[in-house]
Amino acid sequence: MNKAIFQVSLPPKLLNFGFNQFQVQNKVTEWLVLSLFTDTKISSGKAAELLDISRIEFLQLLKKRGIAYVDYSAQELDEEFDAVRKLQIDKNE
């Protein structure tokens, strides 16, 4: 895979946290992929591919970063719960 090279300028205070060039590169890549995913520009499968990890590992990364895999609106969530309630009622009849 071809790679583009960018020069990144960081505040010196960030370097006090012990980041090396490799770690910064990985964090920037992760941040970009997570941003694309949360903006619904790419799927979880594509995100995993871009990070060179499995889809399960990507889902674990989302959990670690506190990012929801499914982001329902309040209305969508209500509809899902209504559907579950209906399934439970139908099952008991």
pLDDT grade, residue 37 (50/70/90)?
very high
**Model pLDDT, residue 71:** 66
Burial of 47 (0-12, 13-18, 19+ CB in 10 A): buried
Q: Tell me the three state secondary structure of residue 15.
A: helix
pLDDT in tens, 58-76: 999 999 999 988 766 788 7
Q: Are 44 and 37 contacting, i.e. CB atoms less than 8 angstroms apart?
A: yes
Q: pTM of the predicted model, to two decimals?
A: 0.71
What does R_g of the chain's alpha carbons equal in angstroms? Answer: 19
User: How far apart are the C-alpha atoms of 52 and 77, rounded to whole Å?
Assistant: 32
DSSP result, 22-91: HHHHHHHHHHHHHHHHHTTSS-HHHHHHHHTS-HHHHHHHHHHHT--SS---HHHHHHHHHHHHHHHHHH
Averaged confidence pLDDT in the chain: 88
pLDDT grade, residue 52 (50/70/90)?
very high
Q: Tell me the three state secondary structure of residue 92.
A: helix
Percent of the chain past pLDDT 70, that is, above it, reads 96
